[in-house]
Amino acid sequence: MRHQKKTIKLGRTAEHRKALLANQVCSLIEHQRIKTTLAKAKAVRPLAERMVTLGKNGSIHARRTALAALRQKNAVRKLFDDIAPRSAERNGGYTRIVKLGHRKSDSAPMAFIEWVDMAEVLEEKPAKEPKAKKKEAEPKPQQTEPQQTEPQQTEPEQTEPERAESEKEEPVTEEEQTAEPSAPAEEPKPKKRRWFGRKPSDEK
């Protein structure tokens, strides 16, 4: 029978369980609130409250005992300097568990675990400033390409008989073309309809 055996094993070995709970308490000290499963939250609560009791003691021996359990110097420093003094007038009950219902993936019950006295110290997140609009792209100065001068083609000199022939063949001007009367366009004759099954009147 398991009488007087209240250790929550969480399906892990002793070494794994100690490391898990120590990391959870360090995260709780750093972030003031963590979201985890309900079983882990209930397992974290006794260790977290024991660490606050050591922090309220404030002796070197208590600090070394907390460091042996949590294994992180920064977390122990914040615990003794910030969190423990806030709960100086409170005799136990330093944490709170808030149930959140079941998560979608495996329907495990979820919960928040947080410090009871954290509301006084929570920092408000700065409001997000509207992003500045992107500067309009300035038109790039167009590079002027140097104009390439084409060599002028020199026409060959014409001989005297060729000049006389070119003078005779003068082009027809536009006035002469407009003077010629244009023939009226013939109107299309209406097509005779032929009814199928009837003979035309000419054939009768």
Say if pTM beats, i.e. exceeds, 0.75: no
How far apart, in whole angstroms, are the C-alpha atoms of residue 24 and residue 41? Answer: 9
Please give the pLDDT value at position 12. 95
Please give the pLDDT value at position 160. 67
CA–CA distance from 198 to each of 191, 203, 204 (Å)?
17, 10, 10
Please give the pLDDT value at position 118. 82
Query: 98 with 41: CB under 8 angstroms?
Result: no
Please give the pLDDT value at position 121. 46
3-state secondary structure 99-138: EEEECCCCCCEEEEEEECCCCCCCCCCCCCCCCCCCCCCC
The contacts of residue 24 (CB under 8 Å, 6+ apart) are: 34, 36, 40, 44
Q: What is the pLDDT of residues 91-149, one digit of tens each?
A: 999 999 999 999 999 999 999 999 999 855 445 566 666 676 666 556 666 666 656 66
Residue 119 identity (one-letter amino acid):
A
Low-confidence ranges of the chain (pLDDT < 70): 119-130, 132-186, 190, 192-204
Give me the sheet containing 109-115, strands edge to edge.
Answer: 33-37, 109-115, 95-102
